[in-house]
Structure 1
Amino acid sequence: MQDHVSRKSCNKKSRKWAGTLYLSRYIAQGGYLRVGMDGPDVESECIPLHCTSAFMFPVGYAEKYNIKLGGPNDTEKFDWSDYLQQSGAIAAPESLFRPIPDQKYMDHFQIGAKLESSDMCENHLVCPATVAAHKGRLLQIHFDGWEDSYDQLFDVHSSDIFPLGWCEMHGYKLEPPKVEEEPPKKKKKK
Structure 2
Amino acid sequence: SPQSGNGANGSETHSNNNSTASYYDLYQAFDWTEYMKETNSVAAPQECFKQAPLPPINDFKVNMKLEALDPRNLTSTCIATVVGVLGPRLRLRLDGSDNKNDFWRLVDAGDIHPIGHCEKNDGMLQPPLGFRMNASSWPMFLLKTLNGASMAHAKVFQTEPPTPKSNLFTVGQKLEAVDKKNPQLICCATVGAVKNDQIHVTFDGWRGAFDYWCRYDSRDIFPVGWCARAGHPLQPPG
Q: If the length of structure 2 is used for normalisation, what is the TM-score?
A: 0.34
Q: If the length of structure 1 is used for normalisation, what is the TM-score?
A: 0.42
Q: Which has the higher contact order (CA 8 A, sep 6+)?
A: 2
